[in-house]
Amino acid sequence: MLEQLVKYAKEHGLETEPGFAAKDVRWAIVCDKNVKFLDVLELGDASLKRNPGQTFPRCPDLTQSELVSGKDTRRHFLIDTLDVVILYGKGPKDKKAITKHKAFVKLLKNASKVISELGKAASLLEDNSILAQIRQRLEEHKANPSEKITFKMGDSFPLESDTWHDWWKEYRQGLKKEALQPMRCLISGELAEPEETHPKIKGLANVGGRGPGDALISFDKDAFKSYGLEQSTNAAVSENSAYAYSSALNELIRKHSRKIAGTKVVHWFKEGIKQEDDPLYFLETGAEAQELDAQHQAKERLRSIESGKRPDLGQNYYYGITLSGASGRVMVRDWMEGQFKELVGNIVRWFDDLSIVHREGNSYAPEPKFLAVLGATVRELDDLPAPFVSKMWRVAVRNEPIPQAALAKALSRTKVGIIKDETFNHARMGLMKAYHLRKKENSGGDLKPYLNEEHPNPAYHCGRLMAVLARLQNAALGDVGAGVVQRYYAAASATPALVLGRLTRTSQFHLNKLDPGLSYWYEKKIAGIWGRIEDNLPTTLSLEEQSLFALGYYQQLADLRTKKSDKQEEVNNG
């Protein structure tokens, strides 16, 4: 994984030199050429609700170790947070903020020997009246103290100048501790001095991470300090490699990641592709992808690869990481890589396995978003645990069996919905069907998107029978409040032998209330289902059999809705 990240950084020309990093800056202190304060400017797209600001590709950067080591307080150069640069938020009475502010100003003064205007900028930040004006303008914009700010002098940003680069490199060299003994870098394989602390991975604050960033490689417990090695030297990585992988991962999280429940899913391709060719985009968006449905688009890409029309796709590779944060650490929950063709085929199979008849019975239900499939297992999306999300993402991308926990959750929500007479959730029914199709022994037999009257498992036909008996009661008595489903579905789906025989005998009273033709139609339908069950009426049903019961119930109801005209014709002929 780290090797691929380093390759990504090099191939995409990212900043990998130690001491430099790409950063997003939302605010700028605007001055004229003489460094007189004019106004505050919001960078980036101000119309966005969460405007990240403008990305500067080569900013001065210190590791956490460089910031905290030494007796004197240290800060970043030219760019820092609002609470540090102008004492915004906590105010000028906060001692820690004032100490950091002075450290930032001191750096500007020291660098004035290479850029004279920075000395004037330092004086500006020592003027309390000017600081008050800047703070007032930022308050009007409702700025956040943790957002970053820099200077704009005239028409240019000092950040974009290379005049300060050599001075900055020399400054960083003065912060170095005593050199460590060279070790073999785990990424490059070269002999190099190991980096004690690595640059932070940012962008995981909304999935358990910290705002300032989280460490991907670090050791702080005695149990992990093998051979007396501390911090990141226990997994030796050179400074150049550490900056390369962190630059790549930060770039990918910023530009090529999506939050799915409590995780961030990052993916990229060896050769860049357009969004309309990205099968993982189809997976995430479902039928909402474009005018064509996601499954159709994925099949089109697969056919174009197999026919040789798209060799660029056929020879491509994909890479994917599932991440979250925990107590300042990056949790790598999964890593995947493989051929593009394999990925497209797996996405096609995902949609095929999930396909289910529409609840109205007149067509297939639209392909669900990946998040909709996850949401089908819980009451609220916030209830989704990160390990489960990561596992299901792998199931979809790698065509793996669906865990039984997913089936159990979906079945539980299905039972609640049926008893409460809620609208059927297509993704939930499709997920239960997909579970059986992907199980090694294929316990679902011949499960199809629509009703299969030849299905070999009696549990499936028990569900069908329950659906017909429920419709029969409704036809005979209308809405009776707590009907046969509300009263008996839970028991019938777990112990059908105790319930279905009695319900079938009771149905005779309902048949007597119908017209002869309609009564004959229902009687024939019930007899046909019992013919499939025969003497194999189960005493109890396992979890998997209960899901087959639910699928039989659902598909039978959908089938009854599609065959109203057939039923009416048979009634008239009868």
Helix axes 95-111, 165-173, angle to 10 degrees: 120
Range of the domain at 563: 451-573
Question: Looking at the domain assignment, is residue 247 inside a domain?
Answer: no
C-alpha span between 4 and 235 (Å, rounded): 17
Same domain membership, residue 214 and residue 113 = yes
HEC-encoded secondary structure of 293-335: CHHHHHHHHHHHHHCCCCHHHHCCEEEEEEEEEECCEEEEEEE
What is the separation of C-alpha 215 from the centre of its chain, rounded to a whole number of angstroms? 20
Length of the chain measured in residues: 574
Give domain status of residue 223, yes or no.
yes
Neighbours of 444 (CB within 10 A): 24
Task: Quote the CA–CA distance of 530 and 535 in Å, as a whole number.
Answer: 9
Spatial neighbors of 329 by CB under 8 A, at least 6 apart, are: 214, 215, 216, 218
- Total domains in the chain come to 3
Of the three residues 235, 265, 284, the one that is the final residue of a domain is 235
Tokens standing for residue 346: 């797996």
Query: What's the farthest any 2 CA atoms get from each other in the chain?
Result: 103
**3-class secondary structure, 424:** coil
Last residue in a domain, options 235, 269, 284: 235
404, 468: one domain:
no
Q: Is the residue at 432 inside a domain?
A: no
Q: In this structure, is residue 427 part of a structural domain?
A: no
Residues 70 and 188 reside in one and the same domain: yes
Cα within 13 Å of Cα(464), Cβ side = 28
Residue 493: name the closest of 561, 551, 431 by CA: 551
Q: Which residues of 28-66 are buried (b: 16+ CB within 10 A; e: fewer)?
A: bbbbeeebebeebbbbeeeeeeeebbbebebbbbbbbeb
- 467 and 511 fall within a common domain: yes
Q: What is the pLDDT along the chain (574 residues), one digit of tens a residue?
A: 999 999 999 998 888 888 898 889 999 999 998 999 999 999 999 888 889 899 998 999 988 778 887 788 889 899 999 999 999 987 667 888 899 999 999 999 999 999 999 999 999 999 999 999 999 999 999 999 999 999 999 999 999 999 999 999 999 888 877 777 888 998 999 998 888 888 899 999 999 999 888 999 888 777 667 777 777 788 889 989 999 999 999 999 988 898 988 899 999 999 888 888 888 888 887 765 444 566 777 788 788 888 788 888 888 899 999 999 998 899 999 999 999 999 989 999 999 999 999 999 888 998 898 999 999 999 998 889 989 999 999 999 999 999 999 999 999 999 999 999 899 999 999 999 999 999 865 555 589 999 999 999 999 999 999 999 999 998 888 876 668 888 999 999 999 999 999 999 988 898 998 898 899 999 999 999 999 998 889 999 999 999 999 999 999 999 998 865 455 545 555 4
DSSP 81: E
Please report the sign of the dihedral spanned by the C-alpha atoms of residue 325, residue 328, residue 333, residue 339: positive
For residue 553, tell me if it sits in a domain.
Answer: yes
